[in-house]
């Protein structure tokens, strides 16, 4: 029974992570495309297939049920993206936290699609 639960949990985790999403902060301060293995910073939502500002492949991912967390470093800033439910995005529950190397932290709500 425990093996079955572990296998089902892994299957749902892989399904949740296989979704590519584009998320943005208010006023497009930050626009990112989140894939299974990397996070790509974009100039704007309208240019998501044209221009990439930077791409980070070393991303720590944590997925529990339908919740997805991605943590990465871009320059000297640590980004933590939190998606509460990958099947149903929420402007209230989804956010990005940016922390500088001095410890200053800013949290923005994100809109994903």
What is the 3-state secondary structure of the chain?
A: CHHHHHHHHHHHHHHHHCCCEEEECHHHCCEEEECCCCEEEECCHHHCCCCEEEEECCCEEEEECCEEEEEEEECCEEEEEEECCCCCCCCCCCEEEEECCCCCEEEEECEEC
pTM (2 d.p.): 0.75
Over the chain (113 residues), what is each successive 10-residue block's mean pLDDT? 44 53 89 88 68 70 93 91 94 95 95 93
Predicted local confidence at residue 48, as pLDDT: 54
pLDDT at position 24 is 93
């Amino acid at each position: 029974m425990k093996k079955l639960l572990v296998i089902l949990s892994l299957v749902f985790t892989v399904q949740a992570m296989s979704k590519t999403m584009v998320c943005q902060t208010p006023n497009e301060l930050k626009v990112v495309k989140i894939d299974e293995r990397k996070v790509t910073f974009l100039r704007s939502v309208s240019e998501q297939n044209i221009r990439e500002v930077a791409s980070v492949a070393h991303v720590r991912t944590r997925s529990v049920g339908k919740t997805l967390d991605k943590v990465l470093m871009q320059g000297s800033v640590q980004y933590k993206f939190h998606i509460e439910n990958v099947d149903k995005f929420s402007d209230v529950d989804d956010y990005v936290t940016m922390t500088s190397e001095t410890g200053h932290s800013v949290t923005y709500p994100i809109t994903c699609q």
